[in-house]
Amino acid sequence: MADGYALALQAALVTALKADAGVSALVGTRVYDQPPQSATRPYIRIGGIEPRPLRTDGKSAANLTFGIEAHSRPLTSGRVEATRCAEAITAALNEAALAVTGFDAVQVHWQTQTVDQDSDGQSYTAIVAFTALLDG
């Protein structure tokens, strides 16, 4: 059985982020769906993916909203490391021609980002939000 919109997009996002030089310069290959307990920071986690169906000319399509999280615990730079990760994620994915297995990625658009200190008082999380249109 082929993956649906959300899982196909998730696989494409992991592949694109790991292949991007700007992202890998910051996190290496630490791009996860679910990070291991011992994950070294900084790392990127694929956040929620919400597909909404579209009907056009008898074909199926979906508009997906999704978030990419960057988790950081810098020793001295505060929110700088998380912000740099967010900027690299945006550069890698905004207007990207993603290769989504089973679908045509029509567009990927950056929507917004936030960077906040976590409740532990030491870590930061950046969340970058996007929309994507998949046809197929």
Domains of the chain, first to last: 5-135 (3.30.2000.30)
Q: What is the pTM of this model?
A: 0.93
C-alpha to C-alpha distance for 105 and 84, rounded to whole angstroms: 26
Cα–Cα nearest to 71, from 108, 30, 104: 30
Question: What are the tens digits of pLDDT across the range 2-17?
Answer: 799 999 999 999 999 9
Going from the C-alpha of 11 to that of each of 96, 101, 102, 127, the distances in angstroms are 14, 8, 11, 19
C-alpha to C-alpha distance for 44 and 35, rounded to whole angstroms: 8
Give the pLDDT band (50/70/90) at residue 59. confident
pLDDT over threshold 90, residue 39: yes
Q: Answer whether 113's CB lies under 8 Å from 130's CB.
A: no
> Angle at the Cα of 97 (from 95 to 99), degrees rounded to 5?
145
Question: What are the tens digits of pLDDT across the range 117-133?
Answer: 999 999 999 999 999 99
